Amino acid sequence: MADEMLHLPFSGTWMAQNSPARRVPSHGIDLFGERYAIDFVAVDLRRRSSERRDWRTFLSTEPPERFLGFGRPIVAPVDGVVAAVHDGEPDHEGRRSQLALVPYALGQAGRLRQGVHAIAGNTVTIAVRGGAAFVSLAHLRLGSIRVGVGDHVTAGQHIAACGNSGNSTEPHVHLQVMDRADPSNAAGLPLRFRSFREWLPGSAEPVIVESGIPGERSIVESLA
């Protein structure tokens, strides 16, 4: 099946992480339809996901409101019909401190046992091409979802806000394409994004990409 062509699901500058341009499966495990998934963290051009640092940054957890992405609009990356919505998962504290990340990592196996909602948090899944593929957006902010099952959406339509729900250490949006709506038994499908500006790691000047996958730790901005 051809790679699904998508718009980036946000405006402004975001950093790509766990990119399938670096490795497949992108998140290190081939579960929940994540094989070709990608994460985006809102950043400034200095690559900062938060403009604030204090003792909590280095020793503890931080409120999600400190991060540039928290509450930012998330838009539909493709035309389609909403196939599934899940809301009700809390937004967690952010964790940049190694002291806070260690106990969180130790709880990963328990979250996997709890199932897909403990991992994905609040989600919107869109059926495209007559149900031949499904695009899912995860870790959305609690209570921010603006669409319901059966709604028709168009690329660029505001559908939710970036959050820190599910298996997430700081606010970001996770995007994946699957062969069915339920990630519990879905296979991940390849994806590509159209028309974006990309700052490669170590480069001060962006390149224009008409179709492709952002590289690991590249900063991207939609041109669509």
Please, are residues 160 and 141 in contact by the beta-carbon 8 Å criterion? yes
Report residue 111's pLDDT band, with 50, 70 and 90 as the boundaries: low
Mean pLDDT of the chain: 92
Residue 223 has pLDDT above 70, yes or no: yes
pLDDT of residue 109: 63
pLDDT of residue 55: 78
Alpha-carbon 21 to chain mean position:
15
Distance, in Å, from the CA atom of 116 to the CA atom of 114, rounded to the nearest integer, reads 7
Q: Strand 4-6 vs strand 191-199: parallel, antiparallel, or unpaired?
A: parallel
Q: Which residue has the higher pLDDT, 45 or 150?
A: 150
Residue 1 has pLDDT above 50, yes or no: no
Report residue 112's pLDDT band, with 50, 70 and 90 as the boundaries: low
What integer is the mean pLDDT of 46-75?
A: 91
pLDDT of residue 106: 59
CA nearest to 174, candidates 224, 108, 223, 116: 116
Q: Which amino acid is at 135?
A: V
Taking only the tens place, the pLDDT of each residue in 22-38 is 999 999 988 899 999 99
Q: What is the DSSP secondary structure assignment for residue 44, as one 8-state letter?
A: -
DSSP H or E run through 55 = helix 55-59
Taking only the tens place, the pLDDT of each residue in 125-147 is 999 988 899 999 999 999 999 99
pLDDT of residue 116: 83
* Domains (range + CATH), the chain: 4-222 (2.70.70.10)
